Structures are given as structure tokens and as C-alpha cells.
Amino acid sequence: MAAVACVSLMLCLILSIVSKVNKNKLPDQQMAARWANGGRYAQISCFIDPNAMIDADTLLFFRHRLNDLIQQDSIVPPNENARLFTDAYCATGNVTASTTRTSVSITAYGVAGDFFRFHPLQFSYGTFFGPDDIMKDYCVIDEETAWNLFGALNVVGMKVEIGGTQHTVVGVIARDKSRLVQQAGLDQPVIYLPYESLTVNGSCRGISCYEIVMPNPITGYAKQKIIDNIGISESDMSIVENSSRFSVMHLFDVLKTYRTRVMRTDSIPYPYWENVARAKENTLAKLLVFRIIFMAIPIVFLVLFLISAYRHRKWHKEDILEGIRTLWEKGKRAVQRLISKKRNKREENYEKEE
């Protein structure tokens, strides 16, 4: 029985480690932890129906309003240079990229804000462009696109024409080609460019994802602020609190809706990283079931052992009560002796001073 209990505990520990490893493989779900620096923050993602026709001006107005609302709730930045929140948004589409060598049609992500902080891609060469860059003619491509366009991989600094506008390649990424990621939607060469550039130089299907990390002093605060003020009907978006999606309570909710959660009755598209996260939720929910089972086995054995020990006991309640009384009396006497020693020592010191 003891051996079975030990094996079960070991299996529970192994599954817990496997679960943690799976969560750590999703850095785009952990932006709140990277940003928080010890504070209470939440990461929220809004996936938007393309028919909602949300544009950059709508989100700019929302940002200003949200900043005012947070400060009205007496939440202020730690210093005058700090921000209360960080956010990003993106749109999907297609562009035709050309060089003197060839021309290719590529899946494109038009990004804005701190997109590359939310999604820390694996760069083989160069780096990403940011929201503070004045010029909007930069791009990040994957290795396959670099090879197709230039016949080389390290093409940082080279020019590619998109919609008649020259763009500078600032980074080359190693696109994740794992089976899960490809099934989730990232199965073709890809290019990342500023949202403004995609809307002008490519075909853009509208902003489809808005992400934010903001203060969350009480549970649900951040999510409700987004729902109430973003200016999008709840029927036109799917909202996820990424920072708590792998908690035990949320995984229980996943188990409750396991059969129906894969059914889609709306037209809201999920980007590949959200599809991957949802697949991981299913995996971790199933692992949670086995963790509970393996944890329950030694607990049951322990309860049975205690019941058996109680039934075959050679002591009685009166013995326990008597032992407690004895210990209490011994404790009282020890405390009294300590107090007496301190009192005597003070009197001796007083006599010496006299």
C-alpha cells in the first residue's frame, strides 16, 4: 500500500512538472508576468469579428479613456515616466513582396503597439521594429520568405517592395514549424509589417486582435473595464483573460465545456497563437484529471491507515486529555521559572547599582 501511494505521488509530481513545462512554452500567454514586476496585472485578449470594422482611431480613443478611468480608481503609475498599461493590436491580410530576384504573395500580419513584446518571436538575425519608430516602412520576415525573395537568410538591411513602397528588412525569424503550430494556422511563409503599411500596401481584413496588460487590483477588474469601454459589442468579440487561463479553476471550466468548446457558432477568427493556447488548455485539463486521481490515491490510503490505527489504538481520549493537562502544567511551571529568574536578575542588578 505504501509503495502504491509513493508511486502515485511521484506520478502526480511528474504530471505537474509536465503541465508547467507546457505552460512555459507559451510566452505570448505570460506577458502580464513579464510586465507586472510584483504588482497585480492581468493580460486580456480580444478577438474581434472582422465585420465589426474596428480601426486604429477607435482603439486610440479607448486607450485615452482607459487611462483616465484607471486613474479615477486611484491607480497611478509608480513614477512619472511609467505607463499604466501596455497594449498591441494586429490585423491579418496578404501582400505581394518583390525584389529584383522574384515576387511572392505572403500571409501578412499588420501589427501595432508592443506586439513583439507580447509575442517574443525567435529571431535568427536582426530584431523587431517598435511603436516608437517614426518610419512605417520596416518589416520582419521568416527564413523561408528570406530565401524565396533573396536566396539568402541573413538579409537584414535589404529592401523589399510591398505595394510599390520600399520596406527595409530589420529582422528574420525562425518560424515555428511544429505540427501543432502548423495545424493552428501558421503553415505558410509570413511577414510582419506595421499596421498602417498593411492597410495601404496590402489587402487587410481589419483589426482582428487587441491585447493589453493592465492593473487588476481585484479579480475581474481588468476584463470588465475592457468589456465596458472598448466600444465593441460582446457579440462581436471573444475575450480571454490569458493570465489566468491555465489556473486550476479555469481548467475545471474547460473540462465542463470540453465537448462544446471546439464548436464555433460565430465568425470570429482566432490567430494561430490563440489556437495553440486553446489546444494546450485541452491538454492541461486532461492532465489535471490524472493529477487529481494520482493525488487522491495516497490521500485515500492515508485516511484508511488513520481509520485502521484508530480502531486498533491502545489509548483512549482520557489518556490524551491527561497528556495535554500534563504538558500544560509543565509549560506553566517552565514559564514561571523563567519569569522568576528574570526578576531575580533585575533585583541583583539594582542592588549592585545601589
pTM of the model: 0.83
Q: Which of 168-182, 254-268, 322-336 is predicted most confidently?
A: 168-182
Q: What is the pLDDT of residue 353?
A: 58
Per-chain mean pLDDT for the chain: 88
Q: What is the pLDDT of residue 295?
A: 92
Candidates 311, 330, 327; CA nearest to 319 is 327
pLDDT band, residue 51 (cuts 50/70/90): confident
Which one is predicted more confidently, 305 or 150? 150
pLDDT band, residue 46 (cuts 50/70/90): very high
**pLDDT tens-digit readout, 90-119:** 999 999 999 998 999 999 999 999 999 999
Candidates 119, 121, 133; CA nearest to 89 is 119
Statement: residue 322 has pLDDT above 80: no
Across the range 20-28, mean pLDDT stands at: 91
Statement: residue 182 has pLDDT above 70: yes
**pLDDT tens-digit readout, 247-284:** 999 999 999 888 777 777 677 889 999 999 999 999 99
Statement: residue 328 has pLDDT above 80: yes
Lowest model confidence (mean pLDDT) among 106-115, 157-166, 168-177, 309-318: 309-318
Q: How far apart are CA 122 and CA 166, in angstroms?
A: 25
86: β partners: 213
Q: How far apart are CA 203 and CA 94, in angstroms?
A: 5
**pLDDT tens-digit readout, 134-160:** 778 999 999 999 999 999 999 999 999
Q: How far apart are CA 87 and CA 98, in angstroms?
A: 31
Statement: residue 1 has pLDDT above 90: no
How far is residue 39 from each of residues 1, 25, 31, 214, 293, measured CA to CA in Å?
A: 45, 23, 13, 10, 34
Q: What is the pLDDT of residue 348?
A: 67
Across the range 18-30, mean pLDDT stands at: 91
Q: Which of 234-238, 261-265, 284-288 is predicted most confidently?
A: 284-288
88: β partners: 113, 211
The runs of H, that is alpha helices, within the chain are 2-24, 31-36, 56-72, 115-118, 143-150, 179-184, 195-201, 221-229, 248-256, 272-311, 317-353
Q: What is the pLDDT of residue 227?
A: 93
Report the phi/psi class of residue 109: left, alpha or beta, with left for phi > 0 and alpha for psi in -120 to 50. Answer: beta
pLDDT band, residue 306 (cuts 50/70/90): confident
Candidates 97, 111, 93; CA nearest to 166 is 97
Across the range 337-344, mean pLDDT stands at: 78
109: β partners: 92, 192
